[in-house]
Every structure is written in C-alpha cells, then in structure tokens.
Amino acid sequence: ETRIVQSDVVILSDYGKGGLTHIADMIRIARAHDKPVLVDPKGDEWGKYAGATVITPNRSELRAVVGRWSSEEELAAKAQKLRGELRLEALLVTRSEEGMTLFADEIHHQPAQAREVFDVSGAGDTVIATLAVMIAAGADWAESIRVANIAAGIVVGKLGTAVVTRRELAAAL
C-alpha cells in the first residue's frame, strides 16, 4: 500500500503466471487512493479487473472474452457492454494494422502508424507504459492514445524487444 501511495499511476501487467493472484485487492487499494490503474489482461476471466481505470487487450484477447464481431458497430457495442460490466473508465483495444481504439464515454480511434514493421514484441508494453505516463501527466484520453500509438509505431520498427527514447518520441511528435 505504501508503494501505491507514493505512485502517480499503477500498471498491472498480467502474464497469467500467478504473480497477480491478488489483482482485485490491488485495484481496490489503488482506486481507494485515487490512483489510475491500467491493466494488460490475460486469459478470459476478466472479472478480477473490475474497477480498473482502463484495460488494454489486443484484438484476440478481447475476442476470447466477448466473441467475434463483424462490424465496427458490433465491436463498439460489445466493448461498451464489457466496459460497463467491469466498471472501467475506458477499454483500449490494440488492433495491429488497424491501429487502436479507445472505448470510453466517447470513442477515439488511432490508425496504425504507416511504417515498416520489424518486430511486434513489446508493442503492447510500450502502449500501456506510454499511456500511463500520459495519464499521470494529466493528458486526456485522446492525446494519451495518440502518443501511445506513435510510441508503438516506433518500437515495432526496431528488432527485438526495444524501447522508445524520449528523443525519438519527441521527434515523431
């Protein structure tokens, strides 16, 4: 609890390895201290993420939970229904070549950054980390996902698990 109090934002990245067995308690404690909680979900039992600020599944992770969709309207309906059920402020779906879509009170879409893709390893981690920095800095959802999308576009253009430097991000912005 002391670490949460000292933090501006909390990221919970669930790798499904058992390290986050008390994730519901962690979310509850962080939210009780008014800390935004960003979750990278795993598996298909997402009830434990209830009350988080935002979860950031990729397309296939979301499909495993809500089922297939055949249109943007159907995706939006399923995403907003899940957001309501889990009491999330937002749901950010990373969609590979389709970019990313944030479902909140408004829907914000960012198309994929057109560039050569060398390695998608770590793209989701880059998105959630950048989103966390932006939220902690007071940015709104639209600006936060715009910058997170640009950061992800930079990292997929590198080989292996890579990072985006502040200089690279500033140059891209």
> Can you list the pairs that 43-46 forms with residues at least 24 positions away whose Cβ atoms lie under 8 Å?
43/14, 43/16, 46/82, 46/86
Contact 96/133 with Cβ under 8 angstroms?
A: no
Residue type, 55: I
The catalytically annotated residue of 8, 105, 119, 125 is 125
Residue 125 annotated in active site? yes
Q: Which of 152, 125, 35 is CA-nearest to residue 89?
A: 35
Cα 121 from Cα 58, distance rounded (Å):
13
Burial class (CB in 10 A: 0-12, 13-18, 19+), 110: buried
Cα 48 from Cα 126, distance rounded (Å):
23
CA distances from residue 173 to 28, 162, 164, 166 in whole angstroms, order as listed: 35, 19, 13, 10
Active site positions, annotated: 125
